[in-house]
Amino acid sequence: MKNKNKQKNIRKLALYLKEREVDYTIEPEESDDEATLTTARLPKRNRKVLLAAADVYRPAAITQLEILGKSVDVDVFSMGTDADPVVIAEKALEKAKKEGYDTLIVDTAGRQIIDENLMDELKNIKEAVKPDEILLVVDAMTGQEAASLTASFDSAVGLTGAILTKIDGDSRGGAAVSVRGVSGKPIKFVGTGERTPDLEPFYPDRMASRILGMGDILSIVEKAQAEVSDEEARRMNEKVKNNEFDFNDFLQQAKLVSTMGSLGGVAKMMPGMGGVSSEQMIAAEKRLKKNEAMIAVMTEEERSNPDLLIKDSKALERLLRIAKFSKMPLSDVKQFMSEFQKMGTMMSRMSKANDKMDPAMTGSNGMDMAMPGNRAARRQTKKKKKAGKGGGGGFGM
């Protein structure tokens, strides 16, 4: 693996394999408990992961990996900086077999360029432990260079794929096309942000949709399903449909977006939002923070009854108080009220229109979209779930 953030991505991969990798060989369990998250009902592999610290050249690399491993509760095997990386890999494999680990990830020295000695070391490690996967971590922001590097490493040691990081950047996945086209090797995972959970299996069709500016609704749905239960989704849908969406709900949805990643990262998966610049996204995130500050100084009654700030006879007096204590211009407070009212009306119309649609309707490009809270649609699409796997193979795929 190569990349200055190589070890951070190893931590992401370890956490994914340990907690989030879905086992598609097992039929998901049905549950009548609607408070259970959708993703919680999907069977997981729950791998027991061991990390091997075989990067003995970079100062503090072993210590850093041990800290990162501890942060996700994954064991790290090390023998110090004086040990031979090949021996480290061999001993780690012995430990994994003896102590019941089912997955071993060997962290090798980072490589910015092709180095003959380091390539020989990689070949020797490959021969010693005979890995199922040999992955190279490459930066999507380097564009064509990422593809050329993947091709060079594949020629030298024989890769099985790549992990493409910073896919949430302005490159919009162009590097993904280059890596596959130039090197011929599949992308197994993509890093979509800085947080530890921000690593996902690579879905070529979804990336193609993003590149074409058509968004990635399926990924948004999956992210939402990981955070919202059926019960909560239905409750929110009823409030939206009846135009009862209040400021407490606004804060809850803002929190949901933050758990799914940055506002910009989520927005770029929306159809038609691909052309929105990073500057516009930053401005929108700042605006969201301002709105949250305004809500923070509202009374509980105002939060649960937006009409007090929009239609009530004392609305202006209330807005002046909110502007004063949130330290925002009155014009910004009025603009937020106007936008909130329009947003509520628009969401209510969209929800009512959605209720008239066939719940088994497919999404764009013929892909099924089982929305949160719609168990019937999910059951109809479950048999097709395996077809949605990405990455040309990969970990259990």
> Which pLDDT tens digit goes with each residue over 173-232?
566 667 777 777 888 888 877 778 888 888 777 766 665 556 566 666 666 666 677 677
* pLDDT, position 364: 40
- Given a cut of 90, whether residue 322 has pLDDT beyond it is yes
Burial 163-197 (b: 16+ CB within 10 A, else e): bbbbbbbebbbbbbebbbebbebbbbbbbbbeebb
* Residue % of the chain over a pLDDT of 90: 32
- Given a cut of 90, whether residue 124 has pLDDT beyond it is yes
* pLDDT, position 3: 41
CB 135 within 8 A of CB 159: yes
CB 285 within 8 A of CB 264: yes
* pLDDT, position 222: 65
Q: CATH 3.40.50.300 spans which residues of the chain?
A: 6-214
- Given a cut of 70, whether residue 59 has pLDDT beyond it is yes
Q: CATH 1.10.260.30 spans which residues of the chain?
A: 223-360
Rounded Cα distance between 73 and 78, Å, is 16
Neighbours of 149 (CB within 10 A): 24
Most confident of 165-169, 197-201, 289-293: 289-293
What CATH number should be reported for the domain whose range is 6-214?
3.40.50.300
Q: Name the pTM for this structure.
A: 0.60
Fold of 223-360: 434 Repressor (Amino-terminal Domain) (1.10.260)
pLDDT tens for 12-22 read 999 989 987 87
pLDDT tens for 130-151 read 999 999 888 877 766 777 778 8
